Amino acid sequence: MELLLVSALGLGWVAVAACHSLLLESTPAAGSTVAAAPTLSLRFNNRVEKPLSRLRLLDERGGSLSLAMPASGGPVDRLSAPLPPLSPGAYRVEWQVLSTDGHVVSGRFGFRVAP
């Protein structure tokens, strides 16, 4: 009986976790060094509410670079924004999305632009 209850509870956690938006991949990739980056693109494991999502790009001094708001068109599991020309150095992407389960999920990753 206890094993059955533990198994049922475990499946419940899997179902809840599957609803949260998880970042699957990005361009530029997290931790990568690129020669140029014309577009920032993030792909999630499920649909995200684009009008309620945010993308920020910070330079190595913590200064925020202007990004166009993510377009509402395109695949429902992606956020994309054109990038301004980037100087060589380190950059940090900060993202925030509204998951299909109603939870706000956020994260960050870095990449470098080579000289």
Q: Tens digits of per-residue pLDDT, 42-68? A: 999 999 998 889 999 999 999 999 888
| Residue 31 or residue 12, greater confidence | 31
Beta pairing class for 39-44 and 78-82 = antiparallel
Q: Which residues face 25 on adjacent strands? A: 43
DSSP 50: G
Q: Mean pLDDT over residues 5-13, rounded?
A: 44
Range of the domain at 16: 2-113
What's the gap between Cα 33 and its chain centre?
A: 18
CATH number at residue 12: 2.60.40.1220
Q: In this model, does residue 99 exceed pLDDT 80?
A: yes
What pLDDT is recorded for position 55?
94
pLDDT bracket for residue 18 (50, 70, 90): low
- Comparing 103 with 7, the larger pLDDT belongs to 103
Number of domains in the chain: 1
pLDDT, position 74: 84
- The strand pairing partners of 18, in sequence order, are none
